[in-house]
């Protein structure tokens, strides 16, 4: 039985571990949190308390004879964990919403990075289309997780890290306009758009940075390309007001004798107002312009249920499908180096990945 270690048993890691175990892999879950380990064990998974970013993690996993390690940790922690594992020769799959900074000098095993939905599935679908058409195409990726109901404010559900959600509004988005790379302010109202979803009605969206790495590598193939993060109507105006009040600032302030960052207070306020159990919806759509009109290339939509949030099912499912391809199709035995999601097309594994998605809980409708 092929053994895979999962480092980080939060929403994405736990779902990925559950999926991989369901697919017949021998899964070892590791986390530094007792609560996370207990949740994993309650699902029948083998899980242990461990310092997942420690320097000895690679040595430990070699002793466990794992074929690969799947990392689902916050960005700063993930970067360190990848460095430690790769330097020990452990093949790694990394779920990350932005490109990791990896020192080439420590890469001593294959690393499949930026897996997930967007980046991740979006890269595979976009590159497959662009490569087959010869480039010069216009495409958009609509992706997002939001509250199951509108509430007139943020209409959110904290089923993923609120820090990451709010960072989207202070991080310039990278996109392609008229064949050239450009950056955009996510909270520029002139760039906001409405998106009519067949299940969830009219949503709003803003330019986001999930395709930044893909654009840096493959942007020359596109005439227009943008990732648009989806939200319930009214959400963006509330966030714009938050920024206007300084709640998204990172400059520390002294409040009642305590030094606090407004951004950290905003995170806490959103977490308190919108707990994970309010329910969420996750949507992923890729569109391309053909013959003067936008056509859907691929679409997936999930709701919370069965004890899982929609976002954990969507991102965890996509990530575990990447991990299965990596472990079962020989990628973990490749020469040391970085593998990106779009490389699966050139390796002849794009269709294999997409065919596995239903087995990992993600039904992707391909147009």
pLDDT at 174 over 80: yes
pLDDT at 295 over 80: yes
Residue 37 falls in which region: left (phi positive, over 0), alpha (psi -120 to 50) or beta: alpha
Please choose, from the candidates 124, 340, 341, 141, the residue with its C-alpha nearest in 3D space to the C-alpha of residue 225. Answer: 141
Compare 119 and 52 and report the one with higher pLDDT: 119
pLDDT at 238 over 80: yes
224 and 287 Cβ atoms separated by less than 8 Å: no
Please choose, from the candidates 358, 287, 288, the residue with its C-alpha nearest in 3D space to the C-alpha of residue 324. Answer: 358
Per-residue pLDDT tens over the stretch 2-51: 999 999 999 999 999 999 999 999 999 999 999 999 999 999 999 999 99
Provide the mean pLDDT of the chain. 95
pTM of the model: 0.96
3-state secondary structure 89-136: CCCEEEECCCCCCCCHHHCCCEEEEEECHHHHHHHHHHHHHHHHHCCC
The pLDDT, as a whole number, for residue 76 is: 81
The pLDDT, as a whole number, for residue 242 is: 98
CATH of domain 119-125+132-309: 3.30.360.10
CB-count burial class (<10 Å; 0-12, 13-18, 19+) for 336: middle
Instruction: Please tell me the CATH superfamily of domain 3-117+314-366, with its number.
Output: NAD(P)-binding Rossmann-like Domain (3.40.50.720)
Q: What are phi and psi of 6, to 5 degrees?
A: -115, 115
Percent with pLDDT over 90 in the chain: 90
How far from 140 is each of 58, 116, 177, 321, 353, CA to CA, in Å?
39, 17, 12, 23, 21
Split at pLDDT 50, 70, 90, the class of 101 is: confident
- Over residues 58-63, the mean pLDDT reads 92
Per-residue pLDDT tens over the stretch 68-100: 999 999 888 898 999 999 999 999 999 987 788
**Could you tell me the residue ranges of all domains in the chain?**
3-117+314-366, 119-125+132-309
- Over residues 175-184, the mean pLDDT reads 97
The pLDDT, as a whole number, for residue 115 is: 98
- Over residues 306-329, the mean pLDDT reads 98
* SS3 call for 265: helix
């Amino acid at each position: 039985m092929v053994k895979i270690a999962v480092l980080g048993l939060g929403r994405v890691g736990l779902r990925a571990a559950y999926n991989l175990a369901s697919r017949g892999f021998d899964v070892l879950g590791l986390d530094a949190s007792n609560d996370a380990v207990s949740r994993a064990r309650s699902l029948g998974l083998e899980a242990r308390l461990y310092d997942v970013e420690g320097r000895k993690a690679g040595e430990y996993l070699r002793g466990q004879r794992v074929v690969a390690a799947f990392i689902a940790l916050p960005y700063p922690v993930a970067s360190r964990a990848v460095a430690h594992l790769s330097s020990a020769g452990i093949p790694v799959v990394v779920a990350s919403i932005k490109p990791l900074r990896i020192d080439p000098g420590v890469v001593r095993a294959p690393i499949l990075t930026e897996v997930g939905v967007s980046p991740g599935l979006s890269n595979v679908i976009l590159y497959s289309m662009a490569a087959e058409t010869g480039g010069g195409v216009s495409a958009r990726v609509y992706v997002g997780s939001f509250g199951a109901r509108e509430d007139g404010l943020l209409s959110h559900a904290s089923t993923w890290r609120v820090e990451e959600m709010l960072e989207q509004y202070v991080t310039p988005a990278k996109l392609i306009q008229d064949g050239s790379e450009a950056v955009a302010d996510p909270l520029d109202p002139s760039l906001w758009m409405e998106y009519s979803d067949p299940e969830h009605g009219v949503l709003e969206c803003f330019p986001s940075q999930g395709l930044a790495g893909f654009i840096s590598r493959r942007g020359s193939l596109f005439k227009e390309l943008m990732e648009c993060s989806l939200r319930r109507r009214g959400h963006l105006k509330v966030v714009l007001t938050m920024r206007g009040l300084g709640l998204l600032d990172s400059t520390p302030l002294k409040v009642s004798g305590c030094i606090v960052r407004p951004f950290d207070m905003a995170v806490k306020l959103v977490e308190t107002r919108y707990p994970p159990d309010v329910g969420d919806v996750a949507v992923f759509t890729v569109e391309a312009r053909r013959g003067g009109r936008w056509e859907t290339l691929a679409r997936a939509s999930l709701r919370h249920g069965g004890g899982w949030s929609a976002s954990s099912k969507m991102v965890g499912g996509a990530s575990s499908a990447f991990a299965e391809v990596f472990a079962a199709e020989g990628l973990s035995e490749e020469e040391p180096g970085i593998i990106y999601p779009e490389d699966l097309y050139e390796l002849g594994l794009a269709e294999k990945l997409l065919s596995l998605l239903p087995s990992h809980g993600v039904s992707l409708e391909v147009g």
